[in-house]
Amino acid sequence: MPQIPLIMPQLGESIAEATVVKLLVNIGDEVKVDQDVMEVETNKATLTVTAPCSGRIAKLLTNLNESYAVGAVLGYLEVTQEVAARVGLDGMIPQRPLEKSESDLNAADPKDELRTPGVQPTVRGLPVPAHAAGASYMSPRMKARMTELGLHAADLAGIPGSGAAGRVTIVDFEKFLANLEKNKMSAASSMRVAVADAMRRSWTRPLATVALPVCLDPLFVHRKASDPKPGPALYALRALALALSENSAPAGRLIGNRIVHPDAIDIGFAVEAEDGVLVPVIRDADQRPLSELVGRYNELVELARQRRLPADATGGSIATVTNFGTFGLTWATPIPLPEQTLVLGMGAARRVPSWHEAKNQFVPVMEANLTLSFDHRVLDGGAAGRLLSRIATLLREPEKL
């Protein structure tokens, strides 16, 4: 008798695969057209696969808690010649399994061979070719394996998946792990792992950056006359602290449907240390003038480079200042720490022409780019721009710092 395949249907515009969570029939059961035969779960909902016509369950090719691509054969339904002719599938025979190399077979689950080769699922009406999309959707089996190895989805971002819509399958994952062993590897330091984890958590938010060039000539004149001399990052830190003391809302954090305002203006600053970055914190940076902050700032820089920061000088800051200009960079987009909304960056100063209204001519000035990266859930471009403009104004009037 003819056999008609039970196919994983297209369960939604953006759904490329689903996990079988429950079988509602057994081999040999008689089913009617549109009868539910199994429950499947996507990353959005639990749905059912139905029989395309009346018949008897001849084969079930699925395992519970395993994912199958849209278009994959989940089993076969034995039907009469009359039914097969009516649905236009008379003479249907099972497709041959996709041939695999010996190495693939060693890494793969035997059931993977039962999946239909060359599946071209449709997403929003267009064919989706295989590409290095990374593990944007992971089956329970994949999640368990990654948890076992201490890996995150970001670690798989460059894997070209062979599943539907370029999804990374368990076979792709195991091949990726096997190939890693062929490369030179070194252990990541605890600091590098901590920085990586912080940046991964930071990137779960929608981040944006605004920038503004600012003339630093007044700052350099002020610094030359000062003793001790503040560094450019400390000027920026003090300007940020004063701007936030006038309106702390931009440094608030979104928790649920509430903005949590800071109760103190504690500002951190980035210091490059061996194999990472440390962020010492100056407490109540809005309460003390610039001249009183220089000693503490220099002390914390030295302690950070030695990786000997005291507990009271770490954590709890509401924003960070980073001077990427020390590396000769004129523009960058720093990422705020996970517990912060803002990071202010300062680029390298360069001599550029600037129009002088009184002299009616261009004159050379030292100018640097200020950048403000922020959590776009808390701030919009206008609010971020106003905050950055206020910081730039304060930097042009360093005697007020």
* Residue of 138, 122, 153, 146 whose CA lies nearest to 11: 122
Residues of the chain short of pLDDT 50, as ranges, are 91-135
pLDDT of residue 29: 94
Q: 186-215: b or e for each residue (b if 16 or more CB lie within 10 Å)? A: eeeeeeeeebeebeeebeebebebbbebbb
Q: Quote the CA–CA distance of 173 and 65 in Å, as a whole number.
A: 17
The answer to whether the Cα torsion of 205, 209, 327, 158 is positive or negative is positive
Measured distance CA(16)–CA(123) in Å, rounded: 7
**Residue boundaries of the structural domains of the chain:** 3-114, 122-180, 191-400
CB-count burial class (<10 Å; 0-12, 13-18, 19+) for 220: middle
Relative to beta strand 319-322, strand 267-269 is parallel
**Nearest CA to 335 among 227, 207, 245?**
207
CA atoms within 13 Å, Cβ hemisphere of 165: 21
268-312: pLDDT as tens digits: 999 988 777 889 999 999 999 999 999 999 999 999 888 888 888
What's the CA gap between 329 and 325, in Å, rounded? 5
Q: Cα–chain-centroid distance for residue 393?
A: 34
Domain 3-114 part of CATH 2.40.50.100: yes
CB-based contacts of 177: which residues, under 8 Å, 6+ apart?
149
The two three-digit tokens of residue 204, written as one number? 């779960």
Whether 47 contacts 100, CB under 8 Å = no
Q: Give Rg (Cα) of the chain.
A: 30
User: Do the first three CATH levels of 3-114 and 191-400 match, i.e. the same topology?
Assistant: no
Q: What is the pTM of this model?
A: 0.60
Residue 122 has, within 13 A of its CA and on its CB side, a CA count of: 8
Torsion 359-360-363-366 (CA) sign: positive
- Backbone torsions φ then ψ of 144, nearest 5 degrees: -65, -40
What is the predicted pLDDT for the residue at 223?
93
Write down the pLDDT at residue 385: 94
pLDDT of residue 12: 67
At the second CATH level, the architecture of 191-400 is 2-Layer Sandwich (3.30)
